[in-house]
């Protein structure tokens, strides 16, 4: 249902500002405009029945507004434009999505152009203050927000998604929204793999209130690992990060949309939703998982770790990239046709019963994170991979010098990979897997709600595995159910879900693919530990 109509008639509270203006687009149409704490109410002053021409726009849906003079210096009028992105019914299909709804008024109440402009500015300030208050207040709690105005670095990967040329119009849409929201931004087009990583590793971060990535999840993975590779990593990793869907998977962007509580949307509608949430500039904590591989430097993951079916589909479906998000559906069907079983040992440290609600105060009350007890955080064992896949350059660079203090938090739950596990770890009895998937955000792709209960900072690795013996039909059913996040309710005997703090995976199949945040990493034994709320994410 059209949000404006749905809200029409509700109690909008006392009016704090009232004015009568004409529409910029049609000066013959006069409107009575009222501002309350929650809404902007626009009533056309015409012969139509009362209510027919009344529009109530929630200030929660407002990203910004502008007061200005027109080009004609002889015209004393001032203008007020307010930018809304309410959830509205789609034209062509059922359901709702965010759509742009600009309100433009012409103020001519006074002869003095300066006085008209001052009046428009007064309205703009009042709208901004009230919409900020509406957005910051969630369930009665004030959220932490970026400063207004904000300065963002917008990193765009021109090769992501459907490939070169595909990013032009999406970048324009987002820049337009940022301008409407009064966000100063600098556009950086990445030139090569690892460009973003090197850039954030060296950048003067004091110049930026946020780093925003418009790409797939791979570019954010680079940025996070670049931040954690800095000598000042503790401060750097708290730089708020934003993500806009520019790839074909867009898992984190889809997760942020899911956390907002809005019904699922895809492609351009997801872009508009994430753009809207970015413009709201509300920041939450985000868990990061540190991943140790057998002979590569430790890396940090914000999304997922996969082995078996999911990792294979991710990588094998590269050749269908031109189809966009459909590449995963095609890849899933192809891999289903040649379903494989992967051998190995999976172990994990479960979340204790009373472990879930540990202190994680709201950001604005929060002290800087304390250092954890000392623990070795980079080590090697004797396992050698004969995996023929090319491992990303970033992971294959030599380990950090032993004289340099390693960056990043210490891993207090992990022992060296070649040492036996502590007694409180669970070793999964099965050794044949169709897939192992660790998730720390809700979505694996735009249309795969793999971990519906995940939140950005719950401090859990949601570990899913499917054991060998599952039929093709049952696995297909699981993936179809995953589109709506209903796979756990399907009571499939082969699917197991556990909330864990750390895990170890020791594949015994000689070849295979392991992905971290959708990027191929060294194949072989690995272990991982979650660091609750280590990073900052703009979730709107």
Ligand X SMILES: Nc1ncnc2c1ncn2[C@@H]1O[C@H](COP(=O)(O)OP(=O)(O)OP(=O)(O)O)[C@@H](O)[C@H]1O
* Residues binding ligand X (CB under 6 A): 157-161, 190-195, 215-219, 222, 247-250, 518
Q: How many whole angstroms separate alpha carbon 458 and alpha carbon 467? A: 26
Provide the 10 A C-beta neighbour count for residue 15: 13
First to last CA, the chain: 23
For the CB of residue 28, give the shortest distance to ligand X in the complex, in Å.
Answer: 49
Least separation in angstroms between residue 214's CB and ligand X is: 9
**In angstroms, what is the minimal distance from the CB of 320 to ligand X?**
10
Find where tokens 């999911």 sit.
310
Given the complex with ligand X, which of 13 and 163 has the nearer CB atom? Answer: 163
CB 60 within 8 A of CB 84: no
Closest separation in Å from C-beta 458 to ligand X: 24
DSSP for residue 144: P
Least distance in angstroms from the C-beta of 94 to ligand X: 27
Closest residue to ligand X, based on beta-carbon distance: 216
Residues in a beta bridge with 18: 34
Rounded CA separation 215/160 (Å): 6
What is the helix (H) or strand (E) element at residue 461, kind and residue range? strand 461-467
- Nearest 10 degrees: CA dihedral of 268, 274, 278, 282? 160
Answer for the pair 249, 266: CB distance below 8 angstroms, yes or no. no
Q: Which is nearer to ligand X, 249 or 533 (CB)?
A: 249
CB-wise, 62 or 154, nearer to ligand X? 154
Strand 432-439 and strand 304-308: the pairing is: antiparallel
* Per-residue exposure over 179-199, b if at least 16 CB sit within 10 Å of its own CB, e if not: ebbbbebeebebeeebbbbeb
Tell me, yes or no, if 217 is annotated catalytic: yes
Would you say 326 or 489 has its CB closer to ligand X?
326
Enter the tokens of residue 53.
């021409």
Give the 3-state secondary structure of residue 403: coil
Q: Which is nearer to ligand X, 222 or 447 (CB)?
A: 222
Residue 519 C-beta: closest distance to ligand X, Å? 6
Q: DSSP code of 420?
A: P
Choose, from 61, 217, 312, 447, the residue flagged as catalytic: 217
503 in Cβ contact with 346 (< 8 Å):
yes
Q: Which is nearer to ligand X, 245 or 459 (CB)?
A: 245
Name the residues annotated as catalytic: 217
């Amino acid at each position: 249902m059209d949000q404006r109509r749905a809200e029409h008639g509700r109690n909008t509270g006392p009016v704090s500002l009232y004015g009568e203006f004409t529409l910029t687009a049609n000066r013959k149409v006069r409107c009575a405009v009222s501002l309350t704490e929650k809404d902007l109410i626009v009533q056309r002053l015409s012969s139509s029945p009362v209510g027919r021409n009344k529009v109530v726009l929630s200030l929660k849906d407002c990203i910004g507004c502008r007061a200005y003079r027109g080009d004609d210096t002889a015209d004393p009028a001032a203008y007020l434009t307010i930018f809304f992105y309410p959830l509205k019914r789609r034209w062509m299909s059922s359901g709702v999505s965010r759509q742009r709804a600009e309100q433009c008024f012409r103020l001519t109440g006074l002869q003095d152009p300066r006085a008209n402009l001052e009046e428009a500015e007064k309205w703009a300030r009042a709208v901004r203050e009230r919409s900020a208050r509406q957005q910051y207040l969630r369930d009665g709690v004030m959220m932490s927000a970026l400063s207004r105005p904000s300065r963002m670095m917008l990193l765009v990967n021109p090769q992501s998604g459907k490939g070169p040329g595909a990013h032009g119009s999406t970048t324009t849409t987002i820049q337009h929204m940022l301008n409407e929201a009064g966000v100063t931004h600098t556009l950086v087009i990445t030139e090569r793999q690892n460009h973003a990583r090197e850039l954030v590793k060296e950048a003067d971060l004091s110049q930026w209130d946020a780093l925003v990535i418009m790409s797939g999840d791979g570019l954010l993975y680079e940025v996070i690992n670049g931040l954690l590779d800095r000598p000042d990593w503790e401060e750097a990793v708290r730089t708020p990060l934003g993500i806009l869907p520019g790839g074909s998977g867009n898992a984190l962007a889809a997760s942020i949309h899911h956390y907002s509580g809005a019904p699922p949307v895809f492609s351009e509608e997801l872009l508009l939703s994430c753009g809207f949430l970015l413009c709201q500039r509300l920041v939450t904590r985000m868990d990061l998982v540190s991943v140790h591989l057998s002979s590569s430097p430790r890396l940090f993951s914000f999304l997922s770790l996969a082995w078996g079916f999911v990792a294979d589909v991710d990588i094998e479906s590269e050749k269908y990239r031109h189809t966009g998000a459909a590449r995963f559906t095609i890849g899933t069907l192809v891999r289903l046709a040649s379903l494989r079983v992967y051998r190995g040992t999976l172990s994990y440290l479960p979340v204790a019963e009373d472990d879930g609600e540990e202190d994680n105060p709201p950001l604005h009350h929060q002290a800087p994170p304390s250092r954890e007890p000392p623990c070795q955080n980079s080590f090697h064992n004797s396992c050698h991979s004969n995996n023929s896949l090319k491992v990303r350059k970033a992971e294959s660079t030599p380990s950090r010098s032993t004289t340099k203090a390693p960056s990043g938090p210490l891993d207090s739950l992990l022992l060296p990979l070649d040492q036996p596990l502590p007694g409180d770890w669970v070793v999964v009895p099965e050794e044949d897997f169709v897939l192992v998937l660790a998730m720390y955000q809700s979505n694996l792709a735009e249309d795969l709600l793999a971990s519906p209960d995940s939140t950005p900072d719950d401090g859990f690795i949601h570990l899913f595995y499917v054991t060998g013996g599952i039929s093709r039909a049952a696995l297909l059913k699981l993936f179809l159910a995953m589109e709506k996040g209903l796979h756990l309710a399907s009571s499939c005997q082969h699917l197991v879900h556990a909330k864990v703090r750390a895990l170890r995976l020791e594949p015994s199949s000689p070849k295979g693919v392991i992905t971290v945040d959708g990027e191929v990493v060294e194949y072989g034994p690995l272990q991982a530990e979650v660091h609750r709320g280590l990073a900052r994410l703009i979730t709107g």
